Chain A
């Protein structure tokens, strides 16, 4: 690389000086016009009051509310209406039917509508069939609501940060 001796800061300054010509007459006249536009003793412009940034605070509050007020629901077991005939009766032990068994079944069938739900307890059915037959399939809730909540809160927080940054940024000049 060959360094040219003439292109230094000093020479660039000299070059800059040559490119700063005096103002043409039209611009000299413009100077007077410009000064006429300046209103002497003009009142100080009303300075815009610096308001507290409520918008980001509101956004952050909404994010916190989403996370706190609606916490992720733990998996709950909800008992459903199960037939007492299939859940509460023990499995038949012998092929020989007792004479009173038919009457008992009939009585149970007739009592079934009036029976409280507590009779069809999951414990009984679980003990009987090895699986909670009276439970709904919502025992393992989908993680989607929690993800949605987290995403919403994150989005609100990001918006709040943007608002704060915009509030702190100096105003555009033109």
Chain B
């Protein structure tokens, strides 16, 4: 099957069609899915694990597991993103299980920050607030604003209802504002 370049899916129907093709071994479909989620997944892992090398390892493990288990992926209303981030979260959990004394110090990776000064100040301020939040709230905000996942996908990833995810994100934002 020739590798036809595909654009990233923009709708759930497109993503579902891509998943069907990827399950059949269509490399172009897999590439499109990879290009759609790779950067967001890497950013999520980088911020969660706070170690570029570890994030790269988990990133690769996540994708390898996804490709390996793609035949088992059943599109039962869950998007590929929810499935992929669920695998990534499991990989992070396995890592934390191996290393129980995970240091929670400042971020050590090199994150490119925008040049304007106020944006840097904002990013630093938000980062400071996030470190003070509970891990559950931090995870929600990470999935929502860093991984840029829709709330329904976040709900699927966390195994909660969409309305509950909405409420929790709202409360996490409120708690973040209180910390300022």
- Within 14-58 of A, Cβ neighbours of B (below 8 Å) are at 14-16, 18-24, 26-27, 30-31, 34-35, 37-42, 44-45
Binding-face segment, A5-13, A87-95, A126-134, A150-158: A5-13
Binding-face segment, A96-104, A117-125, A137-145, A166-174: A166-174
Interface size on A (CB < 8 Å)?
Answer: 38
If the complex has contacts A12-B141, A23-B39, A35-B27, are A18 and B119 also in contact, measured as CB distance less than 8 A? yes
Cβ of A45 and Cβ of B23 under 8 Å apart? yes
Cβ of B122 and Cβ of A15 under 8 Å apart? yes
> Is B36 on the interface with A (CB-CB < 8 A)?
no
If the complex has contacts A30-B60, A171-B72, are A38 and B30 also in contact, measured as CB distance less than 8 A? yes
**CB closest residue in chain B, given A15:** B126
Cβ of A16 and Cβ of B24 under 8 Å apart? no
If the complex has contacts A27-B60, A174-B86, are A19 and B34 also in contact, measured as CB distance less than 8 A? no
- Fill in one digit per residue for B115-154: 1 if any A CB lies within 8 Å of its CB, else 0: 0000100110111010000000000010011111000000
**CB closest residue in chain A, given B1:** A40
Q: Which B residues are in CB contact (< 8 Å) with A19? A: 43, 46-47, 111, 123, 146
In the complex, A23 Cα to B65 Cα: how many Å? 19
Indicate which residue in B34, B47, B87, B112 contacts A174 across the interface (CB closer than 8 Å).
Answer: B87
Cβ of A7 and Cβ of B25 under 8 Å apart? no
Cβ of A31 and Cβ of B38 under 8 Å apart? yes
Tell me the minimal C-beta distance from A34 to chain B in angstroms.
5
In the complex, A13 Cα to B40 Cα: how many Å? 12
Cβ of B56 and Cβ of A14 under 8 Å apart? no
Cβ of B78 and Cβ of A45 under 8 Å apart? no
Chain B interface size range:
35 or more
Would you call the interface of chain A mostly helix, strand, loop, or mixed? loop
Cβ of A4 and Cβ of B87 under 8 Å apart? no
Tell me the minimal C-beta distance from A129 to chain B in angstroms.
73
> Is A2 on the interface with B (CB-CB < 8 A)?
yes
Residues of A bordering B, CB below 8 Å: 1-4, 6-7, 9, 11-16, 18-24, 26-27, 30-31, 34-35, 37-42, 44-45, 170-171, 173-174
Instruction: Other than A3-B177, A6-B125, A40-B1, give 16 A-B pairs with Cβ distance below 8 A.
Output: A12-B144, A16-B43, A18-B111, A20-B40, A20-B146, A20-B148, A27-B42, A27-B56, A30-B63, A37-B64, A40-B26, A41-B25, A170-B76, A170-B78, A173-B72, A173-B86
30 interchain pairs, CB-CB under 8 A: A6-B126, A7-B176, A11-B122, A12-B144, A13-B145, A14-B119, A15-B123, A15-B126, A18-B114, A19-B46, A19-B111, A19-B146, A20-B40, A21-B46, A22-B39, A23-B39, A27-B38, A27-B42, A31-B31, A34-B30, A35-B3, A35-B27, A38-B26, A38-B27, A38-B30, A38-B67, A41-B24, A44-B23, A174-B65, A174-B90
